[in-house]
Amino acid sequence: MSKLAGEQMAELQSHASNIRQEIVKMVAAANSGHPGGSLSAADIVTVLYFHEMNIYSDKPADPDRDRFILSKGHASPVLYAALAEKGFFPKEELATFRKLNTRLQGHPSRKLLPGVEQSTGSLGQGLSSGIGMALAGRLDKKDYRVYVMMGDGEIQEGMVWEAVMAAGHYGLDNLCAFVDSNHLQIDGNVEEVMNPHPIDDKFRAFNWHVIEIDGHDMEQIISALHEAKQVKGKPTMILANTVKGKGISYMENVCGWHGTAPNSEQLQKALDELCGNGGEQ
């Protein structure tokens, strides 16, 4: 697979920076939300929405669209920021995040917002929904692909492993799951709370193709997605090694930023740092 031209990569980096800025602005305005895991997933979500997936903001229910499920639904700011950046709704609406009667609930609701494929928030359930969509695509003879984003803390849930087993059993090669492995969850280090490792060997044991990448290297993300498309007869899991709070120096690898909103001074520092990385304030 050929590498992206410089201007294409610059455009992706700009989208990622804009998404990160909107994440921290949303959470700060609401004084509530989950910035750390939203920021760790931002590069993957950027590549999916602005390079990989066939999705259409003017036709959000197109039967041939690719599907994305944010199983770790508490990271809703990254999904909302990407959907707004893609044109599914006005960016101005991001300011209503977690406000009364908003469409931008703390956890995504498919009943409220175009582009949200699955209501999520109760951890461990997104992969099962993705399996249903992938099986439906097979039965309907559609060639769309289904992408699911899980957290490494989330895969401590037992339901995930029933789903992993089912996807491998049915050989769902139209399904690609990411594990956003940032090593931190609300109670601390993932390995200390309930160690899920080795994640790669567990998925392989259930008949998954596994690719391990740096989840902040867009070339690696793109290459892994390309590889996943070539795999036949089994689903793919992309194990993405990431940094909680990526892009904001004082948030990176700090567990406390799992679900804490920045104050006005912290917000300005975050925006100053992010605007130095190709975005526009």
CB atoms within 10 A of CB 5: 9
Residue 1, in any domain of the structure: no
- Taking the C-alpha atoms of residue 186 and residue 47, their distance in angstroms, rounded to an integer, is 26
Q: What is the pLDDT of residue 197?
A: 97
Specify burial of residue 61 (Cβ count, 10 A radius: 0-12, 13-18, 19+): exposed
| 171 is a domain residue | yes
> Residue 243: inside a domain, yes or no?
yes
How many domains does the structure of the chain reveal? Answer: 1
Query: Does 37 map to a domain?
Result: yes
Contact in structure between 117 and 93 (CB atoms under 8 Å) = no
In CATH, what number is assigned to the domain containing residue 101? Answer: 3.40.50.970
Residues of the chain with pLDDT under 50: 278, 281
Q: What is the pLDDT of residue 126?
A: 98
What is the residue range of 196's domain?
Answer: 6-275
Q: What is the 3-state secondary structure (H, E, C) of the chain?
A: CCCCCHHHHHHHHHHHHHHHHHHHHHHHHHCCCCHHHHHHCHHHHHHHHHHHCCCCCCCCCCCCCCEEEECCHHHHHHHHHHHHHHCCCCHHHHHHCCCCCCCCCCCCCCCCCCCCCCCCCCCCCHHHHHHHHHHHHHHCCCCCCEEEEEECCHHHCHHHHHHHHHHHHCCCCCEEEEEEECCEECCEEHHHHHCCCCHHHHHHHCCCEEEEEECCCHHHHHHHHHHHHHCCCCCEEEEEECCCCCCCCCCCCCHHHHCCCCCHHHHHHHHHHHHCCCCCC
Q: What is the pLDDT of residue 276?
A: 76
Question: Residue 11 is encoded by which pair of tokens?
Answer: 């455009």
Residue 2: predicted pLDDT: 52
Residue 233 domain-assigned (yes or no):
yes
Lookup: tokens for 141: 């003879």
Instruction: Please check whether residue 258 lies inside any domain of the structure.
Output: yes
* Beta pairing class for 184-185 and 188-189: antiparallel
Name the pTM for this structure. 0.96
Residue 94 falls inside a structural domain: yes
Q: Give domain status of residue 75, yes or no.
A: yes
Beta partners for residue 214, in sequence order: 241
What pLDDT does residue 163 have?
98
So what's the pLDDT on residue 6?
86
Torsion angle of the four alpha carbons 260, 264, 269, 273, in this order, in degrees rounded to the nearest 10: 70
Q: Percentage of the chain with pLDDT > 70?
A: 97
